[in-house]
Structure formats: C-alpha cells, structure tokens
C-alpha cells in the first residue's frame, strides 16, 4: 500500500535550545531564511506524501501561521513590487495539505505519534522528526519509501554513530540482510555506551504499520518518564518484521547548537548569492 500520510511531531518543549525556544517553537528557528520544519515538510512532499499532520502543542501557533495565507503581507509585497518575495510567501501557503492536532501534554514521542491515530486510520504512514534534516540527492524519506514498497514492512532510518554517542539515541540490535539494510531484532532507548547492542542509532524517519497505535497505547513511560516510541517498536518486532535502513545523505541534528551551526554553515555555502562573501569571511576568521 502506498504511503500517502506523514506525521511530524512538533509539540516538544525544545529544552536543548533554551533560551531561544522559551517563547518560540524550536521548529521555527530558521536555517538561513527558512524555518527548520519547512525543510522537513518539503522532504515529505518531494517524497510523494499527500497529507501531513503536525502534532502541535501550547505555544506552537507560529507554525500554523507560517503555513497559512498572509493577505496583508501579500498585499504589501504586491504594492511594493517585490515579486520574488511575494512568490516565496505564496508558495509556502500552497505547499500541500497540512493538518494540525494538539498534544495537550508533552508526554513523549510515542504519545505524540499516538495522537495521529484518527488522522492515519488503518494504513501505513511516515513519521518525520523536525530536529533531523537530511541533505541527499534522493530525499531520505523517498529512499525509505522505496524500501517499504519492496519489503512490505515497517522501516526505520538508522545511522552509525560514534560509540561515545550511542547513549543519546535509540539503538538497534540487528543483522545485515542487504545493502544498507538490517533486520531489526531489538531496540534499546539511550543505552549506556558500554551496553549498547550496536552503533546503529535510530534517526528521525520512520515508516510504520498502523498497529503501532495499539502498541503505543499499551506502552508505559520509560526513559525520562516519557512514553517512548522505541519501546512500542520493541513490541512491534516481536510480531512483525521491522527493518533499519542506513540512508544515503548527510544528517544534521539541528535541535542543539553545534548541529544547528553546522547546518547553517553548510547551507549557506550552497547559496549562490552568499557563498563567496561568506567563504571570504570564514577564511578571515579562521
């Protein structure tokens, strides 16, 4: 079955980026001149997704406003003859079918995904986390959708990380069954470095069977006192096939300062209008 729906959890408190996220959503912090969540939505749409549900929360109204029409702004830009800016603004409000639901309490990623049950229905769906931006020739989600079509099973994105970093992620135990492909046998959420089953960490892209909603409902709070999606996936593995796909591309964790700075520098160097003066500035600073 073709995956037509995607879920983007965006109700977290953004504590890794305080104080910038005290009064604005972390998903709206821009990389150059585009909010991080817009990169994620563009990836989903470029991968063939038709409907996107953003799991929102208190203080996240700016996300809805960003993807809504802005008549006064559009009229102002038209009056000033700023056609390029006007086209950019109009393109945002016409990006696709974007829906919203409120997660009333930040009870964890698993709980946030569970809020999408009515939207998803009884069909496979994608989950994309707004902290992870992946730059690749073929969109990361499209790579995973191709695997899902071929395998007919749930697929999660994985990446090999340094041993000292495994405690920051969910980590899989699995065996390699094809190029970049692993059969997942178990998952552990944020294990100590010396107890991790591998260095293959789960990243912010998932394609899941709708049965995951029943499993989330049965899941008790785990690491951090939250309902972890990883714990629900452990139950899924007991009854269904689950694959980890080591995607092609460069991932940026823009939810913390260093990852955000790396993304800002790399994205700026891709922009023709700022590349040379920015390079000159960096050379002088270094």
Helices (H) and strands (E) in the chain, counts: 11, 13
Q: C-alpha distances in angstroms, 176 versus 185, 223, 235, 246, 281?
A: 11, 27, 21, 10, 45
Same domain, 280 and 239: no
Same domain, 265 and 169: no
pLDDT computed for residue 58 by the predictor = 82
What residues have CB less than 8 Å from 38, skipping those under 6 apart?
66, 92
Alpha-carbon distance 16 to 256, whole Å?
Answer: 6
Same domain, 121 and 216: yes
Same domain, 160 and 282: no
Give the pair of three-digit tokens for residue 3. 């995956």
Same domain, 160 and 286: no
Are 54 and 99 within 8 A, CB to CB? yes
* Helices 275-285 and 257-270: angle between axes, nearest 10 degrees: 130
Could you tell me how many residues make up the chain?
A: 286
Same domain, 115 and 229: yes
Q: Domain of 26: which CATH number? A: 3.90.550.10
Same domain, 191 and 266: no
pLDDT tens-place values along the chain, 286 residues long: 789 999 999 887 778 878 877 888 888 899 999 999 999 999 999 999 999 999 998 878 899 999 998 999 999 999 999 999 999 999 998 888 999 999 888 788 999 999 999 999 999 999 999 888 999 999 999 999 999 999 999 999 999 999 988 888 889 999 999 999 999 999 988 888 888 899 999 999 999 999 999 999 998 877 677 888 988 999 999 989 999 999 999 999 888 889 999 999 999 999 999 999 999 999 998 8
| Structural domains in the chain (count) | 2
What residues have CB less than 8 Å from 32, skipping those under 6 apart?
264, 267, 268, 271
What burial class does residue 212 get, using C-beta atoms within 10 Å of its C-beta: 0-12 exposed, 13-18 middle, 19+ buried?
buried
Alpha-carbon distance 164 to 192, whole Å?
Answer: 9
Alpha-carbon distance 194 to 62, whole Å?
Answer: 42
Give me the domain span that covers residue 14.
5-255
Give the pair of three-digit tokens for residue 233. 């996936």
Alpha-carbon distance 209 to 33, whole Å?
Answer: 35
Q: C-alpha distances in angstroms, 63 versus 35, 41, 66, 93, 203?
A: 9, 12, 5, 12, 23
Same domain, 196 and 261: no
Our CA dihedral for 76, 78, 79, 85, rounded to 10 degrees, sits at 70
pLDDT computed for residue 223 by the predictor = 66
pLDDT computed for residue 200 by the predictor = 95
Same domain, 172 and 277: no
Are 5 and 49 within 8 A, CB to CB? yes
Q: In 3D, which of 233, 44, 245 has the Cα closest to residue 155? A: 245
Same domain, 169 and 279: no
Same domain, 268 and 156: no
The vertex-168 CA angle with 43 and 148, nearest 5°, equals 40
């Amino acid at each position: 079955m073709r995956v037509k729906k995607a879920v983007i959890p965006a109700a977290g408190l953004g504590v890794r980026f305080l104080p910038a996220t005290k009064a604005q959503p972390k998903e709206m912090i821009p990389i150059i001149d585009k909010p991080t969540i817009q990169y994620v939505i563009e990836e989903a749409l470029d991968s063939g997704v038709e409907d996107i549900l953003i799991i929102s929360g208190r203080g996240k109204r700016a996300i809805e406003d960003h993807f809504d029409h802005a008549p006064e702004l559009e009229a102002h830009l038209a009056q000033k003859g700023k056609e390029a800016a006007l086209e950019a603004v109009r393109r945002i409000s016409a990006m696709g079918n974007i829906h919203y639901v409120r997660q009333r309490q930040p009870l964890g990623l698993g709980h946030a995904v569970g809020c999408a049950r009515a939207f998803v229905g009884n069909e496979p769906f994608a989950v994309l986390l707004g902290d992870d931006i992946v730059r690749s020739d073929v969109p990361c989600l499209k790579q995973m959708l191709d695997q899902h079509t071929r395998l007919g099973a749930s697929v999660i994105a994985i990446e090999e990380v340094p041993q000292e970093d495994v405690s920051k992620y969910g980590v899989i135990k699995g065996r390699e069954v094809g190029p970049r492909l692993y059969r997942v046998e178990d998952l552990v959420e944020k294990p100590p470095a010396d107890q991790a089953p591998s260095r293959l960490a789960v990243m912010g892209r998932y394609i899941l069977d709708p049965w995951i909603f029943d499993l989330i409902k049965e899941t008790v709070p785990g690491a951090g006192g939250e309902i972890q999606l990883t714990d629900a996936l452990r139950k899924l593995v007991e009854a269904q096939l689950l694959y980890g796909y080591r995607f092609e591309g460069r991932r940026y964790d823009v939810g913390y300062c260093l990852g955000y700075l790396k993304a800002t520098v790399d994205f700026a160097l891709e922009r023709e209008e700022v590349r040379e003066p920015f390079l000159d500035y960096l050379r002088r600073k270094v």
